[in-house]
Amino acid sequence: MKEGRREAGELLLGRLLRLCTALAGVRDADKAGQLLANRIGEVLACERAVLVSVPALLPCQASAGVKPAERSVLADAIRIAAGELGLGNGPARLGHSARPAQVRSEVAGEALADALQRVIAAQGGTQILWWPLPGRDGEPGRHALWLERHRGRAWTDEEVLFAHRFGAMLGALMPSPQPPRLGARRRALLAGLAVVLVAALVPVPAAVTAPVQVVAAEPRHVFSALDGVIATLEVAPGQQVEPGDLLLRMDTRVLEKNVDEARQSLAVAQAELARVRAASHYDASARARVAVTQIELERAQLELDFQLAQLERAELRSELSGQVLLEDPDRLPGAAVRMGERLLSIADTRVTRLRIMVPLADFSLVDEGAPVQVTLDRSPLSALSAQVVRRGYSVQLSDDQLPSIAVDADWRAMPPAVLPGARGTARITGERIPLAQQLLRKPLQALRRAWGL
């Protein structure tokens, strides 16, 4: 008899050793739980084994590869049994012949108590072994086993003692749950997002792109010297002129009429003065009028001199050497102008600078001294260097009908052979800002204008 018990004990220990060896080779908590639920029946014979997570008291694995539901009669029975038998009291039996005398309804409620009764009454009488597995080094256990025997087969004292002795071994071999591992695609996505985020924070120089035009560096403007109508334009745009060359003529018909009237007035004043002087020899009143008539003669002479000077101003002549700068020569002949109105310009076209129309939304990024890269339309593959020397203040419409402010830039090197009027694109480099701000600045501005933010 003793020999039979010893052989049975050795057989049981051998099965436990094989189970422990298998558990020791598994690192995944889910796989280890499934292995324990499936093979614990080799050590302690049972019809169903359920692995329960602690302290949540939720069934996580079951024998035969069945995934137990977290909301079921079995789950309710496990919760009420754990509440009655505890987690730190070692293995305990539960069934018709071995169960607490009364289930506390204030702890579990009538529904949970009924669930436990239904499980015990099923399968011709179910005998349950509630087996909490201790943790490592005195730590709280993370699992418990729910073992069922059907048709009233009871758990023996030897089996309960066996479970009590070797439960700590099984609990220590259960691996700790690992955080869920990301799939390769998700890891790649997160890595890409991290790279994008880091790249978005990389500081880059703020860049403003705007249309540019080559203009004369020091133009001399020609203004109208009097009110009137332009008769003829004597020069063409781009024509080289010298000091004294005639630029344009004003209509002199009114001026010539004024000169004739002034001459007539002077002749009348001269005759009146001669008459008064002749009469002053014998007429006292005439002698009194000599001084007044003399003043009227001087006034008439001044009026004639003024009208003659106005007639001379009808011809506008150049005061320096240079080329004529004129946008639309056809608008001047026949145009009525006011005194002081700008008509054209004369400049040395070998000395030029850049006029950049910076959009109002980007003007705050432009500072004096900022470097400029210019690409002219005539040579789009070559870039020229310049530097901002002046920022304007008045807002005007650019050729693209955008509110803009003029910014002047000088060439950094010797001025290239570029004539005024050439157009292109200028790229102004400002202070360093995050790459995301540089890329999203204009889309956000457009969105703000569209939504009125």
Q: Which of 175-179, 194-198, 372-376, 426-430 has the lowest mean pLDDT?
A: 175-179
- Tokens representing 226 are 């009097």
CB of 146 closer than 8 Å to CB of 50: yes
pLDDT at 108: 40
How does the average pLDDT of the chain come out, rounded? 81
The pLDDT confidence band at residue 284, using thresholds 50, 70 and 90, is confident
What average pLDDT does range 424-443 have in this prediction? 77
In this prediction, what percent of the chain has a pLDDT beyond 90? 4
pLDDT at 183: 64
pLDDT at 181: 59
Report whether pLDDT(99) > 70. Answer: no
For the chain, first and last CA: distance in Å?
A: 93
Note whether 2-173 and 208-217+348-451 share their fold. Answer: no
What average pLDDT does range 324-329 have in this prediction? 84
CATH of domain 2-173: 3.30.450.40
pLDDT at 264: 93
What average pLDDT does range 287-306 have in this prediction? 88
Report whether pLDDT(323) > 60. Answer: yes
CB of 365 closer than 8 Å to CB of 208: yes
For 442, phi and psi rounded to 5 degrees?
Answer: -70, -45
pLDDT tens, position by position, 232-265: 888 888 888 899 889 889 898 988 899 899 999 9
Which amino acid would we find at residue 395?
V
Domain boundaries along the sequence of the chain: 2-173, 208-217+348-451, 224-341
**pTM score, two decimals?**
0.47
For 208, phi and psi rounded to 5 degrees?
Answer: -120, 125
Report whether pLDDT(110) > 80. Answer: no
CB of 427 closer than 8 Å to CB of 208: yes
CATH of domain 208-217+348-451: 2.40.30.170
pLDDT tens, position by position, 137-151: 777 788 888 888 888
Assign 363 to helix, strand or coil.
helix
| Nearest alpha carbon to residue 349 among 278, 398, 412, 422 | 422
Strand-pair partners of 233: 248
pLDDT at 299: 92
- How many residues in the chain? 453
